């Protein structure tokens, strides 16, 4: 008998994604939805989408969702989790969102050890607004605000937000993964699942930073964007478990 071995996960709606061809956001949405389904937490999960290309994530996830103002995902998730402590709460944030305008909220949520999960999608730019430099833009990377490439002396260096968050006492689990290959996509799903489990066990703050292709603003094909993650992005932001205090 023929069996379905891969189909749309239960907690993704039958709505076509608006993302550009080859965008990592929708892969990451799917992995979050798969983890939610496998952990059987769909009826008690609340997601917090960002300002950014993923602003419409509530159109795609078939779980409760509550939009956050730009950068304030961790603060909004904190409020929801403290009000409804039996729910599983995740914020979904871009690199411009979490590492620029939302830095303060994120660091303090981590330091307080808020029992929430943050999905941090690092595509090295402000995607939605047209590809401006973000704090995570690589040195020498072209963007609309760093024509000719990001210059260390003029623009500063890329920020290692996940490593900074790992220093906080309340952060329990932080891993950096990528969605540029089948292998890395599978690893990312494991990391997201683990982050949710940390929250389910009440251990504290968990975050998965995911290196994600933005072919449109990187001005390259989806295949080249995946290659760039291995060749350039992961050289600046190495894929690894940054902190794990679960054992």
Partner 1 sequence: MTIKTKKGRIAIDSKLCKGCYLCVSVCPDKLIAISGELNEKGYYPAEFTETNTGEDRKCTGCAMCAVICPDIAIEVYRG
33 counts as binding ligand SF4 under rule CB under 6 A: no
105 counts as binding ligand TPP under rule CB under 6 A: no
20 counts as binding ligand SF4 under rule CB under 6 A: yes
Residue 27 CB, shortest distance to ligand TPP, in Å, is 13
220 counts as binding ligand SF4 under rule CB under 6 A: no
Tell me how far CA of residue 43 lies from CA of 24, 46, 49, 187, 216, in angstroms. Answer: 26, 9, 18, 25, 35
Which member of 37, 56, 222, 230 binds partner 1 (CB under 8 A)? 222
Q: Which does 216 bind (CB under 5 to 8 A by kind): Mg ion, partner 1, ligand SF4, none?
A: ligand SF4
Residue 42 CB, shortest distance to Mg ion, in Å, is 27
26 counts as binding partner 1 under rule CB under 8 A: yes
Residue span binding Mg ion (CB under 5 A) among the ranges 7-15, 59-67, 78-86, 89-97: 89-97
29 counts as binding ligand SF4 under rule CB under 6 A: no
Residue 41 CB, shortest distance to ligand SF4, in Å, is 27
DSSP H or E segment with residue 186: helix 182-200
Residue 26 CB, shortest distance to partner 1, in Å, is 5
Tell me how far CA of residue 119 lies from CA of 14, 36, 164, 173, in angstroms. Answer: 22, 13, 16, 12
Nearest to 124 by CA among 56, 53, 211: 211
Residue 123 CB, shortest distance to partner 1, in Å, is 13
Q: Which residue is nearest to ligand TPP (CB)?
A: 94
How far apart CA 126 and CA 102 sit, in angstroms, is: 13
Q: Which residue's CB is nearer to ligand TPP, number 44 or number 157?
A: 157
**In the numeric block, which tokens belong to residue 245?**
């205090």
27 counts as binding ligand SF4 under rule CB under 6 A: no
Q: CA angle, 190 as apex, 241 and 40 as ends, to 5°?
A: 135
Nearest-Å Rg of the Cα atoms of the chain is 17
How far apart CA 130 and CA 69 sit, in angstroms, is: 19
């Amino acid at each position: 008998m023929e069996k379905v071995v891969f189909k749309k996960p239960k907690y993704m709606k039958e709505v076509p994604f608006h993302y550009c061809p080859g965008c990592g956001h929708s892969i990451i949405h799917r992995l979050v939805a798969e983890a939610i389904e496998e952990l059987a937490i769909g009826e008690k999960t609340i997601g917090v989408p960002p300002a950014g290309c993923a602003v419409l994530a509530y159109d795609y996830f078939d779980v409760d969702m509550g939009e956050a103002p730009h950068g304030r995902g961790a603060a909004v998730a904190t409020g929801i989790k403290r009000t409804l402590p039996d729910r599983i709460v995740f914020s979904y944030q871009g690199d411009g969102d979490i590492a620029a305008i939302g830095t303060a909220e994120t660091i303090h949520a981590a330091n307080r050890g808020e029992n929430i999960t943050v999905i941090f999608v690092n595509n090295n730019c402000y995607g939605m607004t047209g590809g401006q430099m973000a704090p995570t833009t690589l040195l020498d990377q072209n963007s609309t605000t760093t024509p000719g490439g990001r210059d260390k002396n003029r623009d500063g260096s890329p920020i290692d937000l996940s490593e900074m968050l790992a220093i906080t006492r309340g952060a329990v689990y932080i891993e950096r993964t990528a969605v540029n290959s089948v292998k890395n996509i599978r690893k990312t799903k494991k990391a997201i699942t683990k982050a949710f489990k940390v929250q389910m066990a009440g251990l504290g703050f968990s975050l998965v930073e995911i290196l994600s292709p933005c072919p449109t603003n990187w001005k390259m094909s989806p295949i080249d964007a995946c290659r760039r993650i291995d060749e350039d992005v992961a050289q600046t932001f190495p894929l690894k478990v940054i902190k794990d205090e679960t054992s």
